[in-house]
Chain A
Amino acid sequence: MSTATDTALKAGPRPAGGIRQSVRDSLVVAKRNLIRMIRIPEVVLFGLIQPVMFVILFTYVFGGSIQVGGSISSQDYRNFLMAGIFAQTVTFATAGAGAGIADDMHKGLIDRFRSLPMARGAVLTGRTIADLAQTALTLIVLAGVALLLGWRTHENFGKILAGFGLLLLLGYAFSWIGALIGLSVRTPEAATSGGLIWLFPLTFISNAFVDSNKLPTFFRHIAEWNPFSTTVQACRELFGNLPPGFQTPDAWPMRHPVLASVIWSVVILLIFRTLAVRKYRSAAA
């Protein structure tokens, strides 16, 4: 006992606070979630298979029949499509964050965290950081598959990296929406389905898979102001993947997609982070 108590006393709780503690606690929780991902590789694997399937389906099934810009070449469509698939992939990671947090609530682990003198947002930040790492991994693999299938970029490396940066930022912002959903539902299952439902209209009423100019007027307006479309458009610009003869829509976010994408993501991030952290603090598991 004596040795046990000694360390404990020496180590006793030290005054905490500030950004440093927030960062430290978040990283401790992120590490925990990353270890979990490594021990449950199925989750990561399924997260990879789904977008790869989308890529294959869209390129080979619809590829020849969808006209983008003035082109019906399937190579042009393939290039056009990839930004959409990448963006869809990062948003679908949202459901994972929600399910993970709901699962912690369910198992009572959140009670343990909430009884510790740790930074307020760290449980959620740690989770979303881990999800970001997973998303990054998924994107790398997906980009490799896309290259194998004939996807080509036409801009310099810096711009391409910037495109992926925007995708990750969007994914990170969306994972906070997932966190809020995870904290608001009673079961992990509900978090998974609740986290997915709204993503379908969001990603399909957009420019991800089709040229928004060809949508009916009502949907076209929605698509062109959709934050999701904005990032897709920004990536197409940065990757040099806009098809020949493509007419940039008049909507402001479509004309300044990179700036608009950053603004949208940051706004979503700030709003949903605030809401989620507030919800976390009041949540009765």
Chain B
Amino acid sequence: MPGAIYAEGLVKTFGDVRALDGVDLDVPEGTVLGLLGPNGAGKTTAVRCLTTLLTPDSGRATVAGIDVLKHPNEVRRSIGLSGQFAAVDEYLTGRENLQMVGQLYQMKAKEAKARAGELLDRFHLADAADRPSKTYSGGMRRRLDLAAALVVSPPVMFMDEPTTGLDPRNRQGLWEVIQELVAGGTTLLLTTQYLEEADHLAHDICVVDHGRVIARGTSDQLKARTGGERVEVVVHDRERIATASEVLRGFGKGEVAVAEHTRKLTVPVTGGAKLLAEVIRELDARGIEIDDIGLRRPTLDDVFISLTGHAAELADEGNGADTEADTELRPGHGARSQHSPAAGSRRSPGAESQRSPGAEPQRKKEADK
């Protein structure tokens, strides 16, 4: 039986551009599919085809078991959509916007009103509920749009870059909302530029580029493709690089990569935290002072870059406050995805927000190569 969202050979061209070039998708009921891809990959086009806004040139698709091309109106009854750009009426208040959407989902006026109130609370918009949404900040408008997508708790949801432009607290809040929805049986297709987000929320990940799916699998499977764990050391003294390199060679399972400029050495290893402790002891024994050391497993960032040949471009540069070291030194980083994502694996909000994905570490990693 095909999943709650199913597509086969979707093709959509705009003039010369093949925005979708034969996309197949299959999202089992109650799971989250993360659609990743660089700008212009075709993510939004795929969402628009599946939500009846665009007619594909060829291919077929079903949502909640209903044929998208044959019965678009039945499909609309089963989906909620939050598009890439907030679609709210700026002269209506937040409350009026949600009420209108509720009524257009065929709720009674009273029900729509009650539901609007609940959603406004839930998305921390109660204070601004009765102001025209024109006066909202970008993130507030974004949240209003997401609330509009959730008005009827439809069985299938589509969210096109839902957390772009949200601050860490609201991003965390939205993740929780999404996890609750999925725990309640909702199926979600989510596009994102934040690999962190896909890692955290999605059961399965599809990487698209140039309108094609170039890789798919769980986050762990994709990471495994990119290689195993490695130890990274930043030595304090440039003179000691050679000695440190010698030490690492003894523990490593391959070549030691040395970046003279940043005094950073990297070596592939097996053996995890235990080995890391041994490396630290040995370096200490030889009197090599270190600034930083970490066990690093491939992140989705690495996967993304190795697959598409370029970094995910981040729409929201303002959030990238953390440093590379911060990410690497966190114990068990990378093991995150072993949590069953949507089953309510909740870590402390503080830890989450520190690790908000940022553009800065991304560039550094690239420069090091």
Contacts and interface: CB of A to CB of B under 8 A. Distances in A.
A36 B92 contact: yes
Contacts of A113: 104
A21 B106 contact: yes
Contact of A39 (B87, B108, B132): B132
Interface string B55-93: 100000000000000000110111101010111111110
A105 B48 CA distance: 15
B111 A11 contact: yes
Contacts of A115: 51-53, 76, 79, 81
Contacts of B148: 112
A5 B104 contact: no
Contacts of A118: 76, 104, 106
A114 B73 CA distance: 9
Interface in A25-49: 25, 28-29, 31-32, 35-36, 39-40
Interface residues of A, number: 39
Contacts, number: 110
B353 to A, nearest CB: 21
B118 to A, nearest CB: 4
Interface residues of B, number: 48
B111 A117 contact: no
A222 B190 CA distance: 58
Interface in A250-285: 282, 284-285
Contact of A108 (B87, B92, B102, B111): B87
Interface stretch (A12-20, A83-91, A135-143, A224-232): A12-20
Interface stretch (B151-159, B163-171, B219-227): B151-159
A219 to B, nearest CB: 43
B180 interface: yes
B92 A32 contact: yes
Interface in B208-235: none
- Residue among A16, A114, A117 having the largest count of chain B Cβ atoms under 10 Å: A117
- Residue among A9, A13, A21 having the largest count of chain B Cβ atoms under 10 Å: A13
Contacts of B54: 284
B128 interface: no
B115 interface: yes
A36 B111 CA distance: 23
Contacts of B90: 107
B122 interface: yes
A116 interface: yes
A189 interface: no
B153 A9 contact: yes
Given A9-B153, A13-B106, A112 B115 contact: no
Interface in A110-124: 111-118, 122
A16 B104 CA distance: 10
B76 A117 contact: yes
A13 B77 contact: yes
B354 interface: no
A32 B89 contact: yes
A-B interface, 5 closest residue pairs, ranked by CB to CB distance from nearest: A112-B87, A8-B153, A117-B77, A117-B76, A11-B111
16 contacts: A5-B153, A11-B102, A11-B108, A12-B153, A13-B106, A13-B154, A14-B106, A21-B106, A24-B103, A29-B104, A108-B83, A109-B89, A112-B81, A113-B104, A117-B73, A118-B76
Interface of A: 1, 3-5, 7-14, 16, 21, 24-25, 28-29, 31-32, 35-36, 39-40, 107-109, 111-118, 122, 282, 284-285
